[in-house]
Amino acid sequence: MNEDNNQPSPLAGDVVNDTSQAPDTTMAIVVYALYLASFVVGFTSIIGVVIAYMYRGNGPAWLDEHYRYQIRTFWIGLLYATVTIFLAFVLIGLPLMLVLAVWFIVRCVKGFKGLQEKRAPHNVDSWLI
């Protein structure tokens, strides 16, 4: 029980909709938007990962997991992009670039959804989706 107003305390895993203490998710949203904008303006993902590094560790654990997920998405995506560019010389890299774009978009959409639900993204440590 919460001693202040005799209300039961929220259980672990419950989503708390108290907007007075809700963390600011604006910068995490901006990072996902910058990642998606990198399809039009190529360098915005670099700005996004810098922001993710700057804001990492400044919020609750679930929000920090988003920043970690964003950082991992950038570096893993960069590795995959490098591999697909080299494979483009043998023509298999061209379809893999489409797969990489879908992978990147799906990770960003999963992140947006997790932010809306105020929870960490699933499978933060995954190299896949």
Q: How confident is the model at residue 34 (pLDDT cuts 50, 70, 90)?
A: very high
Q: What are the structure tokens assigned to 30, written together?
A: 């901006």
Residue 8 located in a structural domain: no
| The predicted structure's pLDDT at residue 77 | 96
Distance CA(2)–CA(9), nearest Å, equals: 5
Average pLDDT over residues 27-55: 96
Cα 71 to chain centroid distance, Å, stands at 8
Q: How many secondary structure helices (H) and strands (E) does the chain include?
A: 4, 0
Q: How confident is the model at residue 45 (pLDDT cuts 50, 70, 90)?
A: very high
Are 69 and 56 in contact by the 8 Å Cβ rule? The answer is no
| The predicted structure's pLDDT at residue 6 | 52
Residue 19 located in a structural domain: no
Residue 20 located in a structural domain: no
Q: How many domains does the chain have?
A: 1
Residue 17 located in a structural domain: no
Residue 46 located in a structural domain: yes
41-55 burial, b at 16+ Cβ within 10 Å, e below that, comes to eeebbebbbebbeeb
Q: Cβ of 67: how many Cβ atoms within 10 Å?
A: 22
Q: How confident is the model at residue 18 (pLDDT cuts 50, 70, 90)?
A: very low
Domain of 96, in residue numbers: 26-116
| The predicted structure's pLDDT at residue 129 | 81
62-114 residue pLDDT tens: 999 999 999 999 999 999 999 999 999 988 988 999 999 999 999 999 999 99
Q: How confident is the model at residue 2 (pLDDT cuts 50, 70, 90)?
A: very low
Does the pLDDT at position 14 exceed 80? no
| The predicted structure's pLDDT at residue 33 | 97
Burial class (CB in 10 A: 0-12, 13-18, 19+), 128: exposed
Residue 4 located in a structural domain: no
Residue 5 located in a structural domain: no
Q: How confident is the model at residue 22 (pLDDT cuts 50, 70, 90)?
A: confident
